[in-house]
Amino acid sequence: MMQDTTPDRFQAADCLKFYEREPTVESPHLKSWYGRGQNFIVDYTLAEPGASLERADQSDEYMLILPGRETRVTIAAGDETVSVEGYSLTILPPGRSRIDVEQGGVILRIFTSQADDLAALCLNRDSYLAPDPNVAPYRPWPEAMDGPRIRSYSLDVPEEAGRFGRIWRSSNLMVNIFYPQGPRDRKKMTPHHHADFQQGLLVLEGESIHHLRWPWTSDLDRWQEDEHLKCGAPSLTVIPPPSLHTSQMIGDNNILVDIFSPPREDFVAKEGWVLNSGDYPPPDTRDP
């Protein structure tokens, strides 16, 4: 008889509907909602001109996404000060950094869960009082070839046959910013599972149903019903392994962002998929 290697405990999937929750942090110029997975943290902020977002002693790189073309910020980090236009993704280095909002809009910051102060702000922080046993231990990849600095990339990347979305990565994070799309064809769903890592699904516009199915174990009492999480915008859904899952976009104009930490080796291995692959070396292959 083959040994049953199915996990005996599953982490619940979180769907954080920011539009139904009070902001985690609010000031005269901004409202912020925080949510997390085991290895990543998402800060969704609505910012007005004059707002500032500061990290006094950030331990590792983090990402800034400005999904709106009208948004404009100034970033100060280390010895650099850079003006960044909207419709862009920027990687900020460890240490002290400050984002000053010149023209407001949606501001997305994505961190690893090494930022303990931000983890404590997350709406679903209680989900991680104990870690998900099915997620592999967090291990960042090597830093950029020319060292940490501000790196900014435009989202104006033409679609290309055979390339999956718009993928960028840092030493510790990976995002896929999907092109806007309408309702998904019900006959073209893509159910799949991840063996040992979570997937964050950030809905920026539109509405999706995230379908999940759990493996059966030898213990009938641990079996779980299928889930069909209907989430509008903005929302963050965390898909835990090893659930079988797929997302069904049902809005007229859907904009989603996938989040992973650390980066995915299978995506990096695909020629041309990671748009800034020349900035970072491949994953460390030493024994853990």
Model confidence pLDDT, tens digit, residues 163-206 = 999 999 999 999 999 999 999 999 999 999 999 999 999 999 99
Adjacency order of strands within the sheet including 151-154? 25-27, 30-36, 40-47, 105-112, 62-66, 88-92, 151-154
Residue 55 covered by a domain: yes
Residue 125 covered by a domain: yes
Q: Which candidate, 167, 35, 47, 31, places its Cα nearest to that of 100?
A: 47
CATH number at residue 89: 2.60.120.10
Q: Which candidate, 107, 108, 106, places its Cα nearest to that of 40?
A: 108
Residue 288 covered by a domain: no
d(CA 143, CA 282): 10
Furthest C-alpha separation in the chain: 66
pLDDT more than 90, % of the chain: 90
**Can you give the pLDDT at residue 3?**
45
The per-residue pLDDT for range 126-138, each reduced to its tens digit, is 999 999 999 999 9
Residue 6 covered by a domain: no
**Can you give the pLDDT at residue 222?**
85
Residue 190 structural domain: 14-274
Residue 89 covered by a domain: yes
Domain count, the chain: 1
Report the predicted TM-score, pTM, of the whole model to 2 decimal places.
0.95
Residue 281 covered by a domain: no
The per-residue pLDDT for range 41-74, each reduced to its tens digit, is 999 999 999 999 999 999 999 999 999 999 999 9
